[in-house]
Amino acid sequence: MFSAYFNGAFVTCDEPVIPIDERGHQFGDGVYEVIRVYNGQPFMLDEHIERLYQSAAAIKLCVDSDQDTLKDSIWNLIHKSGLSSLDLYVQITRGIAPRNHLFPERPVSISMTAKPFRHISSVGEKGAGVTLHPDERWENCYIKSLNLLPNILAKQTAHEKGFLEAVLVRNGKVTEGTSSNVFIVQDSSIITTPLSKHILSGITRMAVKSIAEDAGIPLIERHFSPEEMIQSDELFITSTTLEIMPIYWVDNHLISEGKKGTVTRVIQELFDRRK
């Protein structure tokens, strides 16, 4: 069974197919997507592919294969993996060329992996928590770039404190998590940070917006402070891999009395029905 793909070849994950001069390896010069596949069906595939091409365009990376050709390769890898529930990782870089900061005239590289996923429904006995962390990233966080150093440093700090995620704060306002979007609930309304260059337009965030609209739950896109987050009635974070994850701790502050709130429960149930 093949679990990976590199520039047209289906391979196994441990095959050494990427040369040292690959610009993803040398510079992190590329963009990526993480797509979850439920029962053989990629969740919101078109939205992921659209975002991938938007990220590529934002770093002036001209992808030579069109969206349909890439989708065909994705479907091929899903079939060749023999898995029905998996996480598919797609990475597009500025190709293979001797190390030089300037753009090469070579075609891009496309690589993918397909791996089974483990659904995380809750974390530990106390439930999942987050720590507040300064947002030390660049100005263009709407691009799903391979450069994740500030994200991994903040996430590692969270992990070392016993938390699932670090919630990033820029100019006194919450932006997002290191690999998730953040939602608070106040008086039965959902509040989430508005889209800007400072956050990723999450595909799960998009799903939550549509679910809230269908369910008649008000969803307001506005900035909020860490203090507002600590005082919220409910708090949850979203991503392709965490789906809808209730959060009960912000550092040492308990949220929602440590129990899943009604709004979070409804959003989670309706999300599960769309999978």
Report, as residue numbers or ranges, the catalytic residues.
Answer: 144
Nearest-approach distance from CB 79 to ligand PDD, in angstroms: 23
- Residue of 131, 176, 234, 245 that binds ligand PDD (CB under 6 A): 176
Residue 51, φ and ψ in degrees, nearest 5? -65, -35
- Residue of 203, 212, 217, 229 that binds ligand PDD (CB under 6 A): 203
Cα separation, 110 vs 52, whole angstroms: 12
Residue pair 34/87 in contact by the 8 Å Cβ criterion: yes
Residue pair 175/192 in contact by the 8 Å Cβ criterion: no
| Helices 67-81 & 45-58 angle (0-180, nearest 10) | 130
Residue 145 found at the interface with ligand PDD (CB under 6 A): no
Nearest-approach distance from CB 240 to ligand PDD, in angstroms: 3
How would you classify the pairing of strands 243-250 and 173-177?
unpaired
* Shorter beta-carbon distance to ligand PDD: residue 200 or 267: 200
* Shorter beta-carbon distance to ligand PDD: residue 96 or 179: 179
Residue 239 found at the interface with ligand PDD (CB under 6 A): yes
Q: How many residues bind ligand PDD (CB under 6 A)?
A: 14
Nearest-approach distance from CB 176 to ligand PDD, in angstroms: 5
Residue 24 found at the interface with ligand PDD (CB under 6 A): no
- Residue of 113, 204, 232, 264 that binds ligand PDD (CB under 6 A): 204
Using the contact rule CB under 6 A, the part of the chain among 1-9, 18-26, 195-203, 219-227 near ligand PDD is 195-203
- Residue of 81, 113, 181, 268 that binds ligand PDD (CB under 6 A): 181
* Shorter beta-carbon distance to ligand PDD: residue 81 or 238: 238
Nearest-approach distance from CB 32 to ligand PDD, in angstroms: 7
| Residues 56-85, interacting with ligand PDD (CB under 6 A) | none
